[in-house]
Structure 1
Amino acid sequence: MTDVRVGVVFRPQSPPEELREAVVAADQAGIDELWVWEDCFFEGGLTTAAAALAWSERITVGIGLLPVPLRNPALAAMEIATLARTFPNRFSPALGHGVLDWMGQVGARVESPMTLLREYTDAVRRLLQGETLTVSGRYVHLDDVGLAWPPPVAPPVVIGARGPKTVALAGEVGDGVLLDAWLVTRDGGVDTEYLATESARVREAAAAAGRPAPRVITFAEIEPETPALGDRARELVAAIAAAGADTVVLQCTSEHPNPGPLIAALAG
């Protein structure tokens, strides 16, 4: 388990004013990563991540994920670059389709989410690498756009994926994949077959595109009332890592979202 990174989620079912306590506790506990979500219509992913980065010293902060229909890619690249420069090597943004029903609620649903995600990810990644772009795609249109302050080292752009087509796309154009699945089964086991299959799929797609193998990140849900919570959490991390994950991010349930007990258990 020494090579796997371990994270926890601050779920948006917890109010924003509870974020600072969780961030400070996770940072002091030696946990590798803290992830926030941009679920509609709870908490803004970029504002939450910025606060978490400012309140911490060493922890990596991830957003899982930013729904691409909600922001122009130039704006997303500007925001990501600002955080990447201000907090070097500590910010991990993920892009994704978003929940399509939510996108429909705000008038942002598109006919081809796959096309949008491909065009958007390519544009954001190239802007962060300092390129000036003129592109005219189906959804992304940029005319001589370049960032005034691109980060010296571009942060990895992760794609949140569910289903074989999006997982393969993550391998083609992303620097990592965030697998959107509940890996813990009803009997408390781990769906290792699913994880192994999708991990292989994303790495094969990356190899076919001539790109490095993407980092594989997974979420796994755990009840904070679980007996011997720390031991159970470590067992889950070890099992999921053995099935192909590079980073395992543990989350509490929506009914009991407070990550405090989990953070304390991981620190013990």
Structure 2
Amino acid sequence: MISASSETSNPAAGARRIGVMFDRGQRPEDLTSFAVELEAIGADGGPRVDDLWVVEDLSWAGSVSSATLALAATGRLRVGIGITPAPLRNAALLAMELATLARVFPGRLVAGVGHGASAWMAQVGAASPTKLALLEETITAVRGLLTGATTTVAGRTVHIDGVTLVHPPAVAPPVVAGVVRPRSLELSGRVADGTVMAEGQGPRAVEAALDTIAKGRAAAAEDGPAAHELIVFTHLHVDDDPARVATATAPVVEEYTQWLDVPARDVFLAAGEAPAAAGKIRSLWEAGADTVVLRPVGDDPLGQVRAALAELA
């Protein structure tokens, strides 16, 4: 059980926002310049990017340190963490880290938490036999602590006894769940401020996810979060040559065919000429996504983002 209030700031829910991922393959020392250049897009009056998202995959970079670099380098962008694996994070320590960022950069952080890839968690001895319980209890504990409330969680996996943050943020940042399967989507609707959907999933998957999330929100009734933002990641590749598009995106299609367990034809990409890529992005908004986060594939990632934004304008 938990005893805590749950006020958070989630102004993006219901909006049409655009974000860009700093891909895990890029060097951490390039993040600051990437963030500065991303924030400068649209400074001349053109369309602007709303979010920069960082990731935390095993053997790549830490998400909290990456988010800190991005926030410190910019003044307007919202920075999203997508995602911290619950098995790797003590809930109280994660809340402390997030509270520090939310205090120093108010209104500019959104924190994603998820199960973590099972194979990666096993590699570091963090695999959990109670994945759903661990995620729910972690999100509930972190959200409670970020409000500044004295928080107690006596769960199957998370145990916090009367902890209160000394320096909570004035307004807690949204804590969102990065999940895929139906039971996890329902959990997200019940306890999180939003849901992050992984790459490769198109409008039909968005609509189905919203239906499942709604069941969780209905079950939570008045005790659940007040708003729920749907954030959808999607690969972006802008090129006028269909052959080059196919070559560049083939590894992505192969990876997500296996990871999502779907046929290759069902792996969703915002790829092709700029108008076609922009149309794919719009289709995610029209299906119900609040925020679409672009993960550019190939060379000149920000050039591809600019091309897609020009069409979206």
Per the normalisation by structure 1, the TM-score is: 0.91
1:232: Cα distance to partner?
A: 3.7
- Corresponding residue for 2:40? 28
Q: Contact (CA 8 Å) 1:216, 1:246: kept in 2 or not?
A: yes
- Corresponding residue for 1:209? 220
Q: Contact (CA 8 Å) 1:171, 1:206: kept in 2 or not?
A: yes
- Aligned pair in 2 of structure 1 residues 238, 117: CA closer, same or farther (>3 Å)? same
Aligned positions, number: 258
- Aligned pair in 2 of structure 1 residues 235, 56: CA closer, same or farther (>3 Å)? same
What is the distance in 1 between the residues matched to 2:80 and 2:192? 15
1:247 has 2:291 as partner: yes
- Aligned pair in 2 of structure 1 residues 110, 232: CA closer, same or farther (>3 Å)? same
What do residues 36-68 of structure 1 show as CA deviations (whole Å, max 9, x unaligned)? 110111011000000000001100000110001
- Aligned pair in 2 of structure 1 residues 87, 246: CA closer, same or farther (>3 Å)? same
What is the distance in 2 between the residues matched to 1:197 and 1:160? 16
1:158: Cα distance to partner?
A: 0.3
User: Which has the larger displacement, 165-174 or 141-150?
Assistant: 141-150
What is the distance in 2 between the residues matched to 1:11 and 1:203? 30
What is the distance in 1 between the residues matched to 2:240 and 2:108? 30
Q: Contact (CA 8 Å) 1:36, 1:49: kept in 2 or not?
A: yes
What is the distance in 1 between the residues matched to 2:299 and 2:22? 8
- Corresponding residue for 2:58? 40
What is the distance in 1 between the residues matched to 2:240 and 2:75? 30
What is the distance in 1 between the residues matched to 2:127 and 2:300? 32
- Corresponding residue for 1:236? 280
1:135: Cα distance to partner?
A: 2.7
- Aligned pair in 2 of structure 1 residues 248, 64: CA closer, same or farther (>3 Å)? same
What do residues 197-256 of structure 1 show as CA deviations (whole Å, max 9, x unaligned)? 111211232122113341111011122445685434432221110011010011123xx2
What is the distance in 1 between the residues matched to 2:154 and 2:15? 42
Amino acid at match of 1:79: E
Of residues 72, 86, 94, the one that matches 1:76 is 94
Tell me, which stretches of 5 or more residues in structure 1 are unaligned? 184-190
What do residues 174-216 of structure 1 show as CA deviations (whole Å, max 9, x unaligned)? 0000012412xxxxxxx32211111121123212211334111
- Corresponding residue for 1:223? 237
1:199 has 2:213 as partner: no
- Corresponding residue for 2:269? none
The correspondence of residues 109-124 of structure 1 with structure 2, limited to 5 A, is 109-124=127-142
1:257: Cα distance to partner?
A: 7.0
Of residues 188, 194, 204, the one that matches 1:170 is 188
Computed over aligned residues only, the root mean square deviation of the Cα atoms, in angstroms, reads 1.8
Which structure has the larger Rg over C-alpha atoms? 2
- Corresponding residue for 1:4? 16
1:20: Cα distance to partner?
A: 1.7
What is the distance in 1 between the residues matched to 2:40 and 2:305? 10
- Corresponding residue for 2:306? 264
- Corresponding residue for 2:153? 135
Amino acid at match of 1:215: E
User: Which has the larger displacement, 106-115 or 129-138?
Assistant: 129-138
Q: Contact (CA 8 Å) 1:206, 1:213: kept in 2 or not?
A: no
Which SS does the other structure have where 2:237 is aligned?
coil
Q: Contact (CA 8 Å) 2:110, 2:176: kept in 1 or not?
A: yes
1:138: Cα distance to partner?
A: 1.5
Tell me, which stretches of 5 or more residues in structure 2 are unaligned? 1-13, 42-47, 242-271
What is the distance in 1 between the residues matched to 2:181 and 2:160? 29
What is the distance in 1 between the residues matched to 2:299 and 2:138? 31
The correspondence of residues 26-105 of structure 1 with structure 2, limited to 5 A, is 26-29=38-41, 30-105=48-123
Amino acid at match of 1:200: D
